[in-house]
Amino acid sequence: HRGAAEEEEEEGISLEDPWQDEEYFGSYGTLRLHLEMLSDHSRTETYRQVILKNSASLRNKVVMDLGCGTGIISLFCAQLAKPSTVYAVEASSMADYTRQLVKQNACEEVITVLQGRAEEIELPEQVDVLVSEWMGNCLLFEFMVESVLLARDRWLREGGVMWPSSASFTLVPCQADGYYSEKMAFWERPYGLDFTPLQSLAQQEFFAKPKFSHLMEPSDCLTAPQDVLSMDMYTLQVRDLEEMKSHFTFCVEKSGVFHGFTAWFTVHFESLEAGGAPVELNTGPNSEPTHWKQTLFMLDRPVRVSAGDSISGSIVLQRNPIWRRHMTVTLHWNIKSIMEDTENHQVGSKSFPMWR
Amino acid sequence: HRGAAEEEEEEGISLEDPWQDEEYFGSYGTLRLHLEMLSDHSRTETYRQVILKNSASLRNKVVMDLGCGTGIISLFCAQLAKPSTVYAVEASSMADYTRQLVKQNACEEVITVLQGRAEEIELPEQVDVLVSEWMGNCLLFEFMVESVLLARDRWLREGGVMWPSSASFTLVPCQADGYYSEKMAFWERPYGLDFTPLQSLAQQEFFAKPKFSHLMEPSDCLTAPQDVLSMDMYTLQVRDLEEMKSHFTFCVEKSGVFHGFTAWFTVHFESLEAGGAPVELNTGPNSEPTHWKQTLFMLDRPVRVSAGDSISGSIVLQRNPIWRRHMTVTLHWNIKSIMEDTENHQVGSKSFPMWR
Ligand SMILES: [Ca+2]
Ligand SMILES: [Ca+2]
């Protein structure tokens, strides 16, 4: 949730916690992020629909809501279904307010609020359902998913259900004309002056890191989007998170300017009923916008492409070995022109720290 | 330029510079703020118009451009007029780029870039015109104006011209229904739940400090706006900045909900020609929006008012005696109802730190 511009300079690490937990949980002790998440109608209503559609099957079940924040998902469970118990787990100081909200909504018979880290809390029993909203920018950023996997291995009973049940990571080569103009073309002739000496500084300041909070138009996609990574929340292991890699080949569908790649994610909630339809939360450009928006990876220089060209390459999400909530996304690309014009055969690669 | 949400906790002051110069000038060493200012068409074009309309009178004049940033105002002088010299003074590391931009635009004969603080630089001569864009949020925030006054006293020749020449600070009681709903009314019944226990936290987190970056609709004004403070840039003294105070009486023109006060500023640039029209930069809701937008001071509780009611009171801008770039704005108000209904005679006051 931090913008690149607010990023501090990297300092000596010896005195700092590589998980930056004080900062991480501190930010969830204030209302700003919770309001942003609760106001995200698509996100919150999806979780509500998951509970509502599975309310019959949730009867007498034991649920854990991990990283519950204000407790909204736990309250949906108690309000819309009849679980025997919901353990609402929250590490930040918001937990005090979560308790008040549980009381205010007369749910204290069902919901038990536990303040503590997922790795440290103790429950009196195993759970049937582990529900959590752990997704960050680019799906993995902040790596809350690790806490979910550790809680799964400790507390989910054999045959229990994970919500979300799976996740996919989608990529598309795209135009980003508005952003490029605003940050780079601007310097060409502002107010009749030549400001191009600032362009290398602009490239470093605005394009070296990914742009969170990008809302792309579907028409900015140069090719069909592809799911390049997928995660099964039952079998995924913490060690799998260290490096996630995929190859791709995109076929350009319309001529345009290739400014970069845009990424987003989708998560799926399987039904508790045999044959029941899963619920999906899609954060892509064809769905209702969410607070995650999309993530834009800008190339250093835009490349003109034509319908029929191919863009092949790879993406690697490399978790930072020291700063455990951070990762670097590395993209390689190889543009093959349909024109057989070797001039336009371009190869490139770029690594984007998020944020360290 | 810092949002309340990014504000750090107040720490022990002994080790810190009360001017926070490293942070202040550091932020102007990156492009983000410069791009925001340059992209502000109303702001930048006003300075351009001031130079253009006075180009004949600027011939052979000596100009100082204080806190020149990328040097845009100096470049306007060299491009649109024929001054003998422009001293472009910049304390941040941006000065290296300013030199490159001066060269790129072939202005190095006219413009001399000096890297240093206004208080410390040495010029070989006094100047005829001191131009600067020193205005911050709520006009005074960051108190760059102090550097301008010190530079005036050291370097402006007898009879020289200050641009801006004067400034005024405008206030209006207003509605802010959208902002109130988003931050406070939201908790009343989100998704069918009662989240009111979070309202006191929300009040503290969202309404204790002023909201920068508020863009008000003219129709949100409950009364005619009033200029409550004005500053003459020729006679203003640094000591005057410690406390600026004014009384006001507003007459409510239409019934509505009094959510708070909105403030903005206007600066005036006198003409160098006898009888020439001044140029004005107005950052209020009836002018083209600027990057300063307006500043909103929310009451803790909204008050319903009726046409004919009066809102009298006072405003004090109190500079922080320790953190020299910060100030506290204190508002007192007394609402007298036209209905003679003593129930609706409300008195209140609130102090808003910006930010310390
Ligand atoms: Ca999240
Ligand atoms: Ca300014």
Judging contacts by C-beta atoms under 8 Å, the chain B residues touching residue A97 are 197-198, 201
Band of pLDDT at residue A8, cut at 50, 70 and 90: very low
What stretches of chain B adopt beta strand conformation (E)?
62-66, 85-90, 111-115, 127-132, 156-163, 166-174, 211-214, 226-232, 243-251, 256-269, 279-282, 294-305, 310-319, 327-336, 346-354
Sign of CA pseudo-dihedral B179, B184, B188, B190? positive
- What pLDDT was estimated at residue B3? 33
Candidates A195, A172, A132; CA nearest to A254 is: A172
Q: Which ligand is nearest to the CA of A68?
A: 1
The model's pLDDT over A37-60, given as tens digits with 9 standing for 90+, comes to 999 999 999 999 999 999 999 999
Structure tokens at B79: 């491009």
For chain A, helix, strand, coil in percent to 5 are 30, 35, 40
Candidates A245, A244, A279, A250; CA nearest to A262 is: A250
What ipTM score was computed for the predicted complex, to two decimals?
A: 0.92
Mean pLDDT value across residues B254-282? 97
Q: Which ligand is nearest to the CA of B281?
A: 2
The model's pLDDT over A298-352, given as tens digits with 9 standing for 90+, comes to 999 999 999 999 999 999 999 999 999 999 999 999 999 987 665 667 999 999 9
Chain B: nearest CA to A248, how far in angstroms? 34
CA distance A216 to A262: 8
Mean pLDDT value across residues B212-235? 97
In sequence order, what are the beta bridge partners of B266? B168, B282
- What pLDDT was estimated at residue A12? 37
Name the residue with tokens 């996740």. Answer: A167
- Compute the mean pLDDT over every residue in chain A, rounded to the nearest whole number: 93
Given an 8 Å threshold on Cβ–Cβ distance, is B32 in contact with A5? Answer: yes
Cα(A134) to centroid of ligand 1, in Å?
5
Candidates A158, A153, A154, A163; CA nearest to A131 is: A163
Mean pLDDT value across residues A208-222? 97
Residue A151 has pLDDT above 70, yes or no: yes
The model's pLDDT over A307-317, given as tens digits with 9 standing for 90+, comes to 999 999 999 99
Residue A106 has pLDDT above 90, yes or no: yes
* Ranges A68-77, A213-222, B19-28: which has the least confidence: B19-28
Of B32, B38, B205, the CB nearest to A205: B32
- What pLDDT was estimated at residue B342? 57
Band of pLDDT at residue B26, cut at 50, 70 and 90: confident
Residue A3 has pLDDT above 70, yes or no: no
Cα(A31) to centroid of ligand 2, in Å?
30
Chain A: nearest CA to B30, how far in angstroms? 8
- What pLDDT was estimated at residue B27? 83
Given an 8 Å threshold on Cβ–Cβ distance, is A198 in contact with B97? Answer: yes
Provide the whole-model pTM.
Answer: 0.93
Please state, in angstroms and as integers, the Cα–Cα distance from residue A185 to each residue in A176, A219, B39, B109, following that order. 12, 21, 12, 28
